[in-house]
Structure 1
Amino acid sequence: MNDKLKVLVRLDLECGEAQVAAQGNVTARSIQALYVVMKRANHLREGLQLVVDVSHAHVEPSALEQLRKCSESHHLPLSIDPQQSECNVRVLAPADAGLLETSARRAPLAIAA
Structure 2
Amino acid sequence: MNSKLNIVVRVDLDHGKAQVIAKGHITIHSVKALYVVAKRANSLKGGLDLELDVSSAWVDEEALDMLRTASETRHLPAMIDPDQAPCTIGVLADRRLPRKTAPGLAA
**What is the TM-score when the length of structure 1 is the normalising length?**
0.83
Large movers: runs of 4+ above 6 Å? none
The SS at the match of 1:86 is coil
Tell me the number of residue pairs that the alignment of Structure 1 and Structure 2 aligns: 97
Shift of 1:20: 0.2
Could you tell me how far 1:95 is from its partner in structure 2?
5.3
State the distance in 2 between where 1:40 and 1:65 align. 21
List gaps (5 residues or longer) in structure 2: 98-107
Residue 26 of structure 2 corresponds to: 26
- Deviation, 1:13, is 1.0
Q: Work out the percentage of aligned pairs sharing the same amino acid.
A: 53
Aligned match of 1:75: 75
1:8-47 → structure 2 map (5 Å cutoff): 8-47=8-47
CA-atom RMSD, angstroms? 1.2
Q: Distance in 2 between matches of 1:22 and 1:60?
A: 13
Could you tell me which runs of 5 or more consecutive residues in structure 1 were left unpaired when the two chains were aligned: 98-113
How many angstroms apart in 1 are the aligned matches of 2:11 and 2:74?
19
Partner of 2:104: none
- Alpha-carbon deviation of 1:94? 1.1
Counterpart AA for 2:89: V
Q: 1:46-65 to 2 correspondence within 5 Å?
A: 46-65=46-65
